[in-house]
Amino acid sequence: MSEKKPKVLFIAPAQSSKTTHMILEEAKKEFDCSLVPIYELTIGMNKGKIKIMHKGRELKGYDYIFPRIDSKRAEYGFDIISAFDYTGVKKPYHAKTIRIAHDKFLTGLVLSKEGIPVPKTYLAKTKEALRDISRQIKFPAMIKLLSGSGGRGIIYVEDINALESIMSSFEILGQHIIVQEFVESGGKDLRVLVAGDTIIGAMKRIAKNGEKRANICVGGTGERYVPGDEIKELSIKTAKALDTRLCAVDIIESSKGPVVLEANINFGIQGISKATDANIAKKIVEFIADELKIK
Ligand SMILES: Nc1ncnc2c1ncn2[C@@H]1O[C@H](COP(=O)(O)OP(=O)(O)O)[C@@H](O)[C@H]1O
Ligand SMILES: [Mg+2]
């Protein structure tokens, strides 16, 4: 008699990414997998019972949920994963991690509270409020929208004039921002993939000429990187602080030591697979298999 394969449910945008497909294809070798578009999920609640449905049919009997929730779908994702939190099914993180990890300000707060070094950061809503604190801000600086990824919504500013002029535009859009001290690193940063209590891959990213952001999507290049104990421990501590078993931690090595920029719960694996010449998708599947063994 053949052993029954664990059932794994992938929840992703309708147009799922290359990363989702890479992991799904690998996962199909080990598990009985299904993929559902997140906006096709509905939740019902009645008399203390919570019903998670896909196209009106209750989703039941899954051993693991693998969410792929980007910042655009973070709100609906939060509600859906909140419902899964009630079911007790295994997954890499609880709903609250979505709120925190998709918000660079909240991420900073949580990490600071856990004693993890982050760049000096200020939250502000108006140009006037920024002017009030401008003497405390050291330039150059990075302006960041709170949610976003791939370097989008991150702007380098040389001085207060540039900061105010950009802030005017964000104010019109009703958007608040964070201003972060620019940490000099020669355009390089580190990306470390944490799975459970281990590191399954790491790369150094180098920004293209004239660019401050090292993200691969904006022209950065990745190369293999073997993290030492300090970077490994910092990455795992970051994942733990955000209460996620799986994430990609972005770190800058400053002259005063490493600082954590953010942790991505919806990280891509194409760049890091290429840079490390490793099957990262397979490593993620092995991680899920190990998680399923934990009682
Ligand atoms: N405070 C900072 N100092 C120096 N470089 C930064 C700083 N913040 C961000 N960067 C650069 O910009 C990139 C994108 O920033 P990050 O906060 O990770 O946002 P995103 O979600 O867009 O990846 C980083 O990978 C890094 O290269
Ligand atoms: Mg990043």
Q: Tell me the CATH class for 7-99.
A: alpha beta
Q: Which CATH number fits domain 184-292: 3.20.20.140, 3.40.630.30, 3.20.20.450, 3.30.470.20?
A: 3.30.470.20
pTM for this model (two decimals): 0.97
Higher-confidence residue of 3 and 128: namely 128
The whole-number pLDDT of residue 2 equals 62
Closest CA to 262 of 173, 194, 207: 194
**190, 215, 265: residue to mutate for ligand 1 pocket, most atoms within 8 A of CB:** 215
Does 294 score more than 90 pLDDT? Answer: no
Average pLDDT, integer, range 142-170: 93
Name the residue ranges covered by the structural domains of the chain.
7-99, 121-181, 184-292
- Tell me: the pLDDT tens digits for 218-261? 999 999 999 999 999 999 999 999 999 999 999 999 999 999 99
Ligand 1 and 149: CB distance under 6 A: yes
- Tell me: the pLDDT tens digits for 69-128? 999 999 999 999 999 999 999 999 999 999 999 999 999 999 999 999 999 999 999 999
Q: Mean pLDDT, the chain, as a whole number?
A: 96
Specify the pairing of strand 177-181 against strand 188-195.
Answer: unpaired
Amino acid (one-letter) located at 237: K
- Name the closest-CA residue to atom 14, ligand 1: 151
| CA of 80 relative to ligand 1 center, distance in Å | 29
Average pLDDT, integer, range 203-225: 96
What percent of the chain is modeled with pLDDT above 90?
Answer: 93
State the DSSP code for 72: G
Ligand 1 and 267: CB distance under 6 A: no
Q: For residue 220, which ligand has an atom nearest its CA?
A: 1
| CA of 211 relative to ligand 1 center, distance in Å | 11
- Please check whether the two domains, 7-99 and 121-181, share a CATH topology: no
Ligand 1 and 215: CB distance under 6 A: yes
Counting every residue, how long is the chain?
295
The answer to whether 192 touches 199, Cβ cutoff 8 Å, is yes
Q: For residue 153, which ligand has an atom nearest its CA?
A: 1
227 preceded by cis ω (within 30°)? no
Ligand 1 and 213: CB distance under 6 A: yes
Residue 267 CA to residue 217 CA, distance in Å, equals: 12
Architecture of the domain whose range is 121-181: 2-Layer Sandwich (3.30)
Q: Which residues contact 295 (CB under 8 A, 6 or more apart)?
A: none
Residue 197 CA to residue 239 CA, distance in Å, equals: 9
The whole-number pLDDT of residue 1 equals 55
Ligand 1 and 124: CB distance under 6 A: no
Average pLDDT, integer, range 266-287: 98
Instruction: Residue 79: count other Cβ atoms within 10 Å of its Cβ.
Output: 12
Nearest-5° Cα angle at 133, 128 to 139: 110
Does 285 score more than 60 pLDDT? Answer: yes
Q: For residue 148, which ligand has an atom nearest its CA?
A: 1
| CA of 223 relative to ligand 2 center, distance in Å | 16
Amino acid (one-letter) located at 240: K
The whole-number pLDDT of residue 148 equals 84
